[in-house]
Chain A
C-alpha cells in the first residue's frame, strides 16, 4: 500500500515569487508519481507525472517536480508564480504494476494562494 503526505495545507505567496509545494510518499514497491491541480468547483487536471527516467519533470506552464528516491519526495516548484496559479494542488502515487488496478492515492492537498 502507498501513502502520500503533503506537508503544507496552505501556501500564500506574492506574485512573481518562487514557490515549493512539498510531497512525501511511502511505498514498498516502485511508484509512479503525479501532481494534479484543481481550480474552484472543477475536477482535477494532470499537471505533471514521473514514470521513469529523468528525475526532473516539467509541465507546460512552468512548474517542475523532482523525484528523490532516497528522500521519498516529489516536491513541486515554480520559480515565479502568477495570480492564475492560485488553486489547490494534489500529489498522488500509484504502485507500478501489480493488482492495484492503477488506483491513485492522493495527498490531502495544498492550497496555493498568489497575492498581487
Chain B
C-alpha cells in the first residue's frame, strides 16, 4: 500500500534562518506531488506541484522554493525565513495521470517563525 511521510512534525525557526521540509512517498511510482500551506481560516493554498523529477511548477511568488531530486521525494526550502512563512505545510501525492484521483496528504509540518 502507498504511504506518505512528512517531517518534521513541528519546527520553530528564527527569522532569517534556512528551511528544509522533506516529503517522501512509498508504494507508488511517478506520482504527482504537491506542497500546500494552510493558514487559519484561509483554507489551503497550493504552493508547488511536480509531475516528474526536476519538474517544479510554482503557483504563487514567495520566499519558498521546491525541488524533486528523486521520483518520490519532494523538498520545500527557503534560504531566509520570514514571519509570514509561519503556517501548517502539507505534502500530498496523487496517481499520475489520473486527474480524477484524490489527493493523499501527509500529516503536515507546523512551522513557527519567531
Contact = CB atoms under 8 A, between A and B. Distances in A.
Given A42-B108, A102-B98, A109 B41 contact: yes
Contacts of A34: 102
Interface in A1-60: 6, 9, 32, 34, 36, 41-46, 49, 51
Interface in A80-116: 90, 94-98, 100-109
Nearest to A31: B100
B113 to A, nearest CB: 18
A106 B102 contact: no
B44 A32 contact: no
Contacts of B92: 43-44
B101 A9 contact: no
Interface range, B side: 20 to 34
A100 B6 CA distance: 25
B102 A43 contact: no
Contact of B32 (A46, A97, A102): A102
B105 interface: yes
A51 B100 contact: yes
Contacts of A100: 99
Interface in B72-114: 90, 92, 94, 97-108, 110
Interface in B11-56: 32, 34, 36, 41-44, 46, 49, 51
Given A103-B49, A108-B43, A41 B108 contact: yes
Contact of A43 (B43, B90, B98): B90
Given A43-B90, A44-B90, A106 B43 contact: yes
A43 B99 contact: no
B32 A90 contact: no
Given A32-B100, A102-B94, A43 B105 contact: yes
Interface of B: 6, 32, 34, 36, 41-44, 46, 49, 51, 57, 59, 90, 92, 94, 97-108, 110
Interface of A: 6, 9, 32, 34, 36, 41-46, 49, 51, 90, 94-98, 100-109
Given A102-B98, A103-B46, 13 more contacts: A41-B107, A44-B103, A44-B105, A46-B102, A46-B103, A46-B104, A51-B100, A90-B43, A94-B99, A95-B99, A101-B32, A107-B43, A108-B42
